[in-house]
Amino acid sequence: MEDRTGLTAASAAIGGEGVLGRMVDLVELDAQYPGVGQRLLADFVVVDSLDHAMALADQGVAETLVTLDGDIVDGGVVAGGSRDAQGSGVLAQKREIRDLEEIAENLQRDLTEATARLVTARADLKAVTKAIEGLRGQVHQGDLEIMGHEKDSTRLRQELERARERLTQLGGELMELEGRMSGLETEDQGIHARRELAAAAVVELEASQLEFIGALTEERERLETLATALTEARVRAAQLGEKRASLVAATLRLAAARGEHEARMARLGAEVEESQTRIAALHADTERLAGELETARQERLVAAQSIAEGRSEYDRRGQALAEVELSVRSLRSQADRLAQELAAVELRRNQVTMNQQVLDNGIYDRYQLELCKVVVDYHQRPMVSEAEEQRQTELRDLIERMGTDINLTAIEEYAEVSSRFDFLSAQRADLDRAVDQLQKAIDKINKTSRKLFKDTFAAVNATFKEVFPRLFRGGQAALSLTGGDEVDLLEAGIEIMAQPPGKKNSTVEQLSGGEKALTAVALVFSIFLIKPSPFCILDEVDAPLDEANVDRYNELVREMTDRSQFIVITHNKRTMESADNLYGVTMQEPGVSKLVTVNLSRLGKGQAA
């Protein structure tokens, strides 16, 4: 009585704040399937937000609650809806694309299964329709046979009535003949003379009587035959009536099955349309993100190509600059040597000029003559000194050699190369600054990563030390970094040390299969306790565990359902018993899989009520 009162109060809460009404009252149903829509939407209630839905679920409302954002609250389990995701950069876009592709693949797989179920339902409907048509044909044939037998029965009744009338008529004639025979016998006794005549008449009457008796016997036999045929016709009619009733019942059952199949087809069609809509939206998002990713990839390729070209140009120009510097150093060395030679020649020229002036002055003072007027080609005449003449020859040869080896445009080339060297030096400085900035960013990221890794590792290690004894009912375990203190945290390895009750402390590789699985579960749950995710998939985790460890494993999973939603793939009965919703896949026909769903939480509430 208390449970029923609680359910009534919980149901009354549906009319409270945030409740928009029952879905069956808010949705326009197809007039062809009103009963199907009533049955499908009877247990769904529409609310305005997830908070109101969770509040109603806490109050014990048994109906399935649906929010305007698409969240579904059924027995405390939240499904559907969406969460604002934040992501930046190419890696986030790649991860989002992978998630969308997985969702698209799951929806495509669901669409394929729904299409297969739809095809199967259509085939079943076609078979049922064909069976109904066959049964209708049989019913019609039975009706025709019944009508034929009814006609035969009516004809037999009419013949029986005529036979009865004929029998009555023959009976009257027989009585009349018997009366006439009695009168003749009386007359025979009274009148002897007329006896002979009467005897002849009696013989004739006896013959007629025999004929009438034979006819009467035939009529009686015919009447009995007709009565037997009538009885058989009635039996046949009764059998056909029973067959018709069974056919009508089968027709009604098939009609009901057809209605269920039509409802199922309508539901599957709606699911297919919804899946197609979601797939189209996901495809659009995937294409959009793929376009953004492709744009980012192109930009990255262009940047990488520009960097590669810049590096190649930098290397090429650096090599050219080195060659130019080498050539400049060679030219400078040669120019210095030539400058020294030129200075010596200038010095000698100045000396010769001074000597010439002294000679001109001496000749003018002594002879009052100007040497330049007396000797016109004195500068073309050989020197008197052999050493000077040899020196002049050497200088001429040197000048000739210098004239063939010296690049007259070296100064202009040097200016151009110097300008190019300055430009490349500026670019190299820019690249060095960019490298420094990138190195600073990398150092900052590594520093942040080391800090986050260190904090997360410490938190997970502390939680792991608490979860491990709970699963093993004792013992101890810890996480440690390999490589020593000098190894970088980002490059260090992680080692799991575990000591189950009654055993020595050892690495996880030395444990048994069940102990390894339970240790791994403890580590995974420790990570989930630090940073839970929206859902977790556990695939055959309890396979190597015994019953006691399975119970402790299920107990810990049940406690963590407040943080995350767990999807468990298992063959263990104890794990199945602890679940809220059970999904089983069976293959009743080759190549056709069927999904069976059981809501254990709602079933438990119904049994408790």
What CATH code is carried by the domain that includes residue 62? 3.30.70.1620
Among candidates 85, 54, 48, 44, which has minimal Cα distance to 67? 48
pLDDT score at 214:
72
Among 303, 323, 338, the domain boundary falls at 303
Residue 583 lies in a domain: no
Q: What is the mean pLDDT of residues 502-527?
A: 84
Domain count, the chain: 4
- Residue 116 domain-assigned? yes
**Whether residue 295 is found in the same domain as residue 189:** yes
In this structure, the answer to whether residues 380 and 484 fall within a common structural domain is no
Is 393 contained in some domain? yes
Closest by CA position to 555, among listed 585, 515, 521, 604: 521
List C-alpha distances in Å: 324 to 319, 338, 481, 523: 9, 20, 55, 65
Note the pLDDT tens digit of each residue in 204-217.
666 766 776 776 67
Sign of the alpha-carbon torsion through 191, 197, 199, 204? negative
- Mean pLDDT taken over the chain: 73
The least confident of 252-266, 454-468, 529-543 is: 252-266
Q: Which residues on adjacent β-strands are paired with residue 369?
A: none
Q: Is the pLDDT of residue 592 over 70?
A: yes
Strand 565-569 to strand 535-539: parallel, antiparallel, or no bridges (unpaired)? Answer: parallel
Residue with tokens 């876009």: 93
Q: Contact, 350 vs 362, CB < 8 A? A: no
- Each residue's pLDDT tens digit, 250-293: 666 766 767 776 777 777 777 767 767 777 776 676 677 667 66
Q: Which of 531, 554, 587 is the last residue of a domain?
A: 531
pLDDT at 607: 46
Structure letter (DSSP) for residue 152: H
Res. 507: pLDDT tops 50: yes
Residues 6+ apart with CB under 8 A from 272: 111, 114, 115, 118
Report the range of poorest mean pLDDT among 88-92, 401-405, 550-554: 88-92
* Within a domain: 605: no
Question: Which whole number is the average pLDDT over 244-251?
Answer: 66
Give residue 104's domain range.
97-303
Tokens 């262009």 map to which residue? 302
150-205 pLDDT per residue, tens: 676 677 677 777 767 766 776 676 677 666 666 655 655 655 555 566 566 556 66
- Claim to verify: residue 368 and residue 416 sit in the same structural domain: yes
Confidence check: pLDDT of 31 > 70:
no
Q: How confident is the model at residue 32 (pLDDT cuts 50, 70, 90)?
A: low
d(CA 137, CA 236): 19
Please tell me the distance from the alpha carbon of residue 279 to that of residue 301, in angstroms, as a whole number. 31
Per-residue three-class SS string for 161-193: HHHHHHHHHHHHHHHHHHHHHHHHHHHHHHCCC
Whether residue 260 is found in the same domain as residue 249: yes
Cα–Cα nearest to 458, from 483, 480, 476, 486: 480
Strand intervals (E) in 288-389: none
Same domain as 129, residue 116: yes
Taking only the tens place, the pLDDT of each residue in 420-459 is 778 888 888 888 888 888 888 888 888 888 888 889 889 9
User: 473 pLDDT exceeds 70?
Assistant: yes
pLDDT in tens, 6-24: 334 444 556 667 788 887 7
Q: What is the dihedral of CA 162, 166, 171, 174, to 10 degrees?
A: 180
Whether residue 587 is predicted with pLDDT greater than 70 in this model: the reply is yes
More confident residue, 461 or 65: 461
Share of the chain above pLDDT 70, in %: 58
Query: Are both 68 and 106 inside the same structural domain?
Result: no
Question: Percent of the chain, pLDDT > 90?
Answer: 1
Tell me, yes or no, whether 142 lies in a domain: yes
What is the distance in angstroms between the CA of the first residue and the CA of the last residue of the chain? Answer: 9
Which of 389, 416, 434 represents a domain boundary (last residue)?
434
Helix axes 410-472, 195-367, angle to 10 degrees: 140
Say which DSSP state 21 is in. E
Question: 294 and 351 share a domain?
Answer: no
Residue 85 has pLDDT above 50, yes or no: no
pLDDT value, residue 12: 55
Position 281 in a domain = yes
CATH number of the domain that residue 249 is part of = 1.10.287.2610
Same domain, residue pair 478 and 406: no
The pTM for the full model equals: 0.34
- The answer on 359 and 318 residing in a single domain is yes
- Asked if residue 329 and residue 314 are part of one domain, the reply reads yes
Instruction: Flag whether pLDDT at 372 surpasses 70.
Output: no
How much is the average pLDDT of 297-313? 67
CATH number for the domain harbouring residue 505: 3.40.50.300
Stretch (H or E) spanning 547: helix 547-560
How much is the average pLDDT of 464-488? Answer: 84
* Residues 553 and 471 sit within 8 Å (Cβ to Cβ): yes
112 and 256 share one domain: yes
295: in domain: yes
* Residue 484 within any structural domain of the chain: yes
If asked whether residues 131 and 170 sit together in one domain, one would say: yes
The pLDDT, as a whole number, for residue 569 is 92
pLDDT of 90 > 80? The answer is no
Rounded CA-CA distance 471/462 in Å is 15
Whether the per-residue pLDDT at 382 is higher than 60: the answer is: no
Task: Give the confidence band of 111 by pLDDT, cuts at 50, 70, 90.
Answer: low
